[in-house]
Amino acid sequence: MSAAHTTAKDAPWLFRTYAGHSTAAASNALYRTNLAKGQTGLSVAFDLPTQTGYDSDHELAKGEVGKVGVPVNHLGDMRALFRDIPLEQMNTSMTINATAPWLLALYIAVAEEQGADVAALQGTVQNDIIKEYLSRGTYICPPKPSLRMITDVAAYTQKHLPKWNPMNVCSYHLQEAGATPEQELAFALATACAVLDDLKGKVSAEDFPNMVGRISFFVNAGIRFVTELCKMRAFVDLWDELCETRYGITEAKYRRFRYGVQVNSLGLTEQQPENNVYRILIEMLAVTLSKKARARAVQLPAWNEALGLPRPWDQQWSLRMQQILAYETDLLEYDDLFDGNPAIDRKVAALKDGARAELAQIDAMGGAVAAIDYMKGRLVEANADRIAKIETKETTVVGVNRWTETTPSPLTAGDGAIMVADPQAEADQIARLTAWRQSRDEAAVQAALNALRAAAASGQNVMPASIAAAKAGATTGEWGAMVRAAFGEYRAPTGVSRNPSNRTEGLEPIREAVQAVSAKLGRPLKFLVGKPGLDGHSNGAEQIAARARDCGMDIHYEGIRLTPAEIVAAAVDQDAHVIGLSILSGSHLPLIREVLDRMRAADLSVPLVVGGIIPEDDATALRALGVAAVYTPKDFELNRIMLDIVGLVDRSPLAAE
């Protein structure tokens, strides 16, 4: 086995940085700075209201505006986002799903205003709603109409944006939710099949192979980088196999597995965060070393993302990592380094066998849409296994469960280790939104929205009507309201079964403590777990709820996207003894402040505990407001958290009565 030296050096992958924050103008400045530093593609992060079809002044948007991405409410915001950036020359990735038709419509409208040839536009909308039900949580409508809008986008781009990737099948969040490599392979491929099956009826037989070739993937690469490298080679083989055998695609170029990647954020640690630099580099090797399975685009997280929002310098550090590998090393001068390696071949074969078995199970259930409940349950259980192995030290995490002694890091000393969101950004955004509404032709907007709702209800492709609404001045929330009216809203399964699991490791003393407190209370300890706001990252909340269930608590967990009023009302209705809230979007201060205010108004005197990516200064502020305990990613021992919760209830007035 040897890798031949090539006569010409391969072109590097696209260098991207996933970015967007505060306002469209601030994000535009960041994009232009990153492009000047050598970034070769744009990757747009939208805030949660934009992702879920709400305007910035909606009740659920409170505290969320501009936190995890840029707010885009209307055409004016999209203009500001791409000011002085020629879209015809860009390759733009937009991480957007439920509102993908709308954001693509705004992008097309701005490109036309710039004088661009729309047919020349290059880029991707993620547009993968199935993984939103399983892991990310930014869905709006039920699965079937959501799938229909995915393929509406695909069919529209086939005619009008032939260089655009209409869907990025996203297994990234599946791994973040705990998926094993076999599950990540199978669940992503099942999603692609569901889309292609629906798309068949919307494009001609002669155009279908080309559309198969436009489907791309967005994957995750974890720290077990040899397994991850093998997973990518398995993806290449399985996609080729499915395209040929299931869809009859004969031309090899249309069966090519094309993917972008962000390496694993789940494994980034709050403890000793400087170690994350090495994790990111090692994970990048999995998607770059093998020429056969090399990523088309790579975006790397920043070393300090477990602490809060990264600064521009942190993002530059990650970009430089890519540039050094691509331009200083000789990696791109060689053919595939792993062809013919027996160890690699064995692992790839094993992964393919496992993925085929899982895919056959999903097919037997009727495909990905029909199997959403099944896949969600599998992810929650796999994530529980992952966490348990870290707790018991079966899995080593340096600086977390081994070698925890450390010298203080100068990287995190003093102020400025993370970026602090502009506290005025939300108010400024709402003011601009108000001014936009006042300046537009209201009759034209309403006519365009009525046409959009009619198109959605009739089965017409929603893209032309969405573009017309964008040009008329409609807002993201108004577009979202139209599709909600046409298709209804949806609440995805939580994956947390009412029945306890078989897990017993270290639980007996906690179960005894729960029983003792329950006896004092006169009924089982009632623990309400909630996710206020629009944050859809539910993995932590699911694991807390599942572990509390296994410890003998009576849990109440409704899933994501609840208002503070709904959470407090549920706590009163359920007669909860303790409330636990999970917020990872950075909106913890305003949301928790409102929850506490509503608890006091309802005369609800039970402990409130909070978990999330919460800087220490914010944790201190939350405790001063009345929060009983604050947990962050460093608190990985769930059994200790369970004992803390039991102790809080035991010391509460209810237990003393």
Catalytic residues, by residue number, are 18, 172-173, 531, 535, 537
Angle between helices 442-458 and 462-472 (to 10 degrees): 170
- The answer to whether the CB of 199 falls within 8 A of the CB of 151 is yes
Tell me, letter by letter, the H, E, C secondary structure of 329-370: CCHHHECCCCCCCHHHHHHHHHHHHHHHHHHHHHHHCCCCCC
* Separation CA 475–CA 472 (nearest Å): 9
* Separation CA 434–CA 57 (nearest Å): 9
Tell me, letter by letter, the H, E, C secondary structure of 391-452: HCCCCCCECCCECCCCCCCCCCCCCCCCECCCCCHHHHHHHHHHHHHHHCCHHHHHHHHHHH
In angstroms, the Cα distances linking 561 to 59, 155, 581 are 11, 31, 12
Helix intervals (H) in 215-341: 225-245, 276-286, 312-327
Backbone angles phi, psi at 562, to 5 degrees: -115, 145
Tokens 């792993």 found at: 338
In angstroms, the Cα distances linking 193 to 3, 151, 326 are 34, 12, 33
In angstroms, the Cα distances linking 152 to 530, 593, 623 are 34, 41, 48
Residue 56: which residues within 8 A CB-CB, separation 6 or more? 49, 65, 71, 73, 426, 429, 430, 433
- The answer to whether the CB of 56 falls within 8 A of the CB of 534 is no
CB burial of residue 160 (10 Å; 0-12, 13-18, 19+):
middle
* Separation CA 650–CA 290 (nearest Å): 56
Two tokens at 32?
Answer: 């232009």
* Separation CA 90–CA 98 (nearest Å): 23
